[in-house]
Structure 1
Amino acid sequence: MGKIEKVTDKVIRSLWRDGNPDKAALSGARGTTSLVNRQAQAVWPVMMANLDKKMLSQDGRPTYAETAVYAAIRFYAIHQQGQSQFVYGSIHGDDEDKGINLFEALARLRSQPDRKDALDHRVKALLATSNVTSMIQSLSHLISILKSTNSLIKIDYALLAQDLYDAQFGIDVANQVHLRWGQQYYWNNKNEETTEGKKD
């Protein structure tokens, strides 16, 4: 688990508070895409307390770490709204705490013919940009779609934070992140089942 992933995991669990969520902080996160917006200040006490000092801004402009962690908190807040069950889980977790990556969840949704075209359109737009602000905006829309159709699925938002952090280190790294997302989204496990069937 990467450092950004670990920090985000800790922050999200702190906001969940074992089923007594910090509603003010989650509402603030949902209300703005920007960490420097006044509404986002509701998240600062939990978020800043868990970041390493070197991850913190020195000039008032959010660092790559702050941008990635806050985006993931916001995604989680959007998904958690109105839910009594925890919608975050780690891919490293045990059965009860197990989550999946966002694009695997979207791939499952894509298998529904009436949703495929609209989802493909949004995912293509996301994979075409290396601008982190545009990526975050696209991801917000995708998470809203996922919430509206399968609200109780557990998503690994900490892993998504790590991906967003990595994607800010230039176009080559962003393209590597896009490739991982594309693989998770477009890969069809029916292909594997067919291959296995032929072996038998």
Structure 2
Amino acid sequence: MVTTINGVTKSVIKSLDNNLDDSYSKAVLAELRSSINRDSNYASKTWQLLFDKLPKDYLNTDGYLTREEKVILSTLQLYATHQQGNLQTVNYDQDEYIDTVGHFDVQYANKEFFVEFKVVKADGTSETSKRSFKNYEDVVNFMGKWNNEIPNKMKKAKKYSSNLGNSLNLYRSSLGDKKAFDNRFNTMLTASTYDELLNNLRHIIKIIKAGKTPIKINYPKLAQDLYSWLGSEQSRDRIKLQWSQSYYYVDLKKENSNEE
């Protein structure tokens, strides 16, 4: 039996994806959507499915959800919302790694965020610059402004796992006017409670569902990130920054090919 948040979520979604036309899978997905903002005992078919997949360490017997149960159920509800009306899975089930072209290196220490980035000078050479910030909101705003003002970023030989920000970046790149969606994304980042975060995530998923470009999300990775979000304040800020870095990612090769 798999014993990670990522692994359990992947196993549950895979069992549904393999039989999307099956009446049982349809019933589970419908129940997941109906169970949003309702008592956890409402999702009987869902719990039956989860209990077959969850390790004993993830289960509770006192009538309250464990942190593991909570994030897996939340993720499945988001997945079910996204999956509605789709004949193909909306789950991105690949171990993808993305180059950090156009990204920032962000470190957190001594209650400060340190941002390292490269600037291309007029003579074509580059230099590394650093900035420090007290609040993660200031870091996010800085990254957004920097990407809009600086036309060229230098490639770095570092890679990271695909996350929610990567998927939202794909949708963002299809937009002409990005301001409204950027505001929605930043509103999600400033959520002060887990329920507020989920509510914003559902709104975002409904927006990308209505778009012309099909967007998939790595839901097992999202479950792992939500688990970290419910952890310490430091881990929560780290997840928000990772999503922001991916969201404001600039693919220089694609931009250059479009200009040609």
TM range (shorter): 0.7 to 0.9
Question: Contact 1:29/1:39 (CA < 8 Å) preserved in 2?
Answer: no
- Which structure has the highest helix share of the two? 1
Question: Contact 1:130/1:167 (CA < 8 Å) preserved in 2?
Answer: no
Whole-Å Cα distance in 1 between the matches of residues 220 and 11 of structure 2? 9
Whole-Å Cα distance in 2 between the matches of residues 118 and 32 of structure 1? 29
Shift of 1:59: 1.8
Question: Contact 2:171/2:213 (CA < 8 Å) preserved in 1?
Answer: no
One-letter amino acid matched to 1:65: E
Whole-Å Cα distance in 2 between the matches of residues 128 and 57 of structure 1? 30
Whole-Å Cα distance in 2 between the matches of residues 2 and 181 of structure 1? 25
Whole-Å Cα distance in 2 between the matches of residues 158 and 171 of structure 1? 22
1:24 aligns with 2:87: no
SS for the counterpart of 1:113 is coil
Unaligned runs of 5+ in 2: 97-161
- Which structure has the highest strand share of the two? 2
One-letter amino acid matched to 2:190: A
Whole-Å Cα distance in 2 between the matches of residues 130 and 5 of structure 1? 24
What is the aligned partner in structure 1 of residue 150 from structure 2?
A: none
Whole-Å Cα distance in 2 between the matches of residues 192 and 130 of structure 1? 36
Whole-Å Cα distance in 2 between the matches of residues 59 and 18 of structure 1? 33
1:113 aligns with 2:176: yes
* Match 1:104 to one of 145, 150, 166: 166
* Match 2:93 to one of 82, 90, 94: 90
What is the aligned partner in structure 1 of residue 75 from structure 2?
A: 72
Question: Contact 2:82/2:206 (CA < 8 Å) preserved in 1?
Answer: yes
What is the aligned partner in structure 2 of residue 97 from structure 1?
A: none
Between the aligned residues of both structures, percent identity stands at 33
Question: Contact 2:20/2:26 (CA < 8 Å) preserved in 1?
Answer: no
How many pairs were matched up?
187
One-letter amino acid matched to 2:90: V
Whole-Å Cα distance in 2 between the matches of residues 25 and 19 of structure 1? 10
Shift of 1:181: 0.5
What is the aligned partner in structure 1 of residue 119 from structure 2?
A: none
Unaligned runs of 5+ in 1: 94-99, 195-200
**Alpha carbons of structure 1 residues 17 and 191: separation in structure 2 relative to 1, 3 Å:** closer
| 1:1-200 matches, cutoff 5 A | 3-21=4-22, 22-34=25-37, 36-92=39-95, 101-111=163-173, 112-114=175-177, 116-150=178-212, 152-190=214-252
Whole-Å Cα distance in 2 between the matches of residues 13 and 54 of structure 1? 22
* Bigger shift: residues 48-57 or 29-38: 29-38
Deviations 1:149-175 (A, max 9, x none): 157433211100000011111211100
Whole-Å Cα distance in 2 between the matches of residues 64 and 51 of structure 1? 12
Q: Rg: which structure is higher?
A: 2
Whole-Å Cα distance in 2 between the matches of residues 192 and 82 of structure 1? 31
Whole-Å Cα distance in 1 between the matches of residues 238 and 3 of structure 2? 16
One-letter amino acid matched to 2:58: M
RMSD over equivalenced CA pairs, Å: 2.4
Question: Contact 1:35/1:62 (CA < 8 Å) preserved in 2?
Answer: no
Return the TM-score normalized by structure 1: 0.83
Shift of 1:189: 1.6
Shift of 1:25: 0.9
* Bigger shift: residues 33-42 or 161-170: 33-42
